[in-house]
Amino acid sequence: MQVITNNFGASQYDAYVDGAVAASLHYQIQDGEMWLLWTTVSDSCEVKGLAERLIRDALADAHKRRLAVRPFCHEVRKIISAHPVYLKLVPPNEVRRLHLTAVPAPKKTKQLATAAA
């Protein structure tokens, strides 16, 4: 079972798998902003997508708390670029500085039907 909690005392979000911490996202609150600093994932953790879920939960929490986000962590920047809805959490000057842009989804190509002669 997976559970994600905000460990306020340690300034980190923790992802638990079967009762043990499997991943953490460290942050700092500074002047109404949440600075997302770095992500760690346990070597023994084999849960696919756990880090992404952890990051997305942290971004949702920042939105709920009306905090701007400064994504210092490379993994957080990748998630923000892959899911443009999160770009609005990042201050515009930071979006420009970090060159954050939405990564377009791959275009679907139409296959032409060939007529049998």
Q: What is the domain partition of the chain in residue ranges?
A: 2-97
User: 107: pLDDT confidence band, cut at 50, 70 and 90?
Assistant: low
Phi, psi values for residue 69, rounded to 5°: -120, 135
Q: State the pLDDT at residue 117.
A: 45
Cβ neighbours for 24, distance < 8 A, ≥ 6 positions apart = 7, 12, 13, 14, 15, 39, 40, 54
Query: Do 72 and 90 contact (CB within 8 A), yes or no?
Result: no
Tell me 58's DSSP state.
Answer: H
Average pLDDT over residues 14-37: 96
User: 75: pLDDT confidence band, cut at 50, 70 and 90?
Assistant: very high
2-97: what fold? Answer: Aminopeptidase (3.40.630)
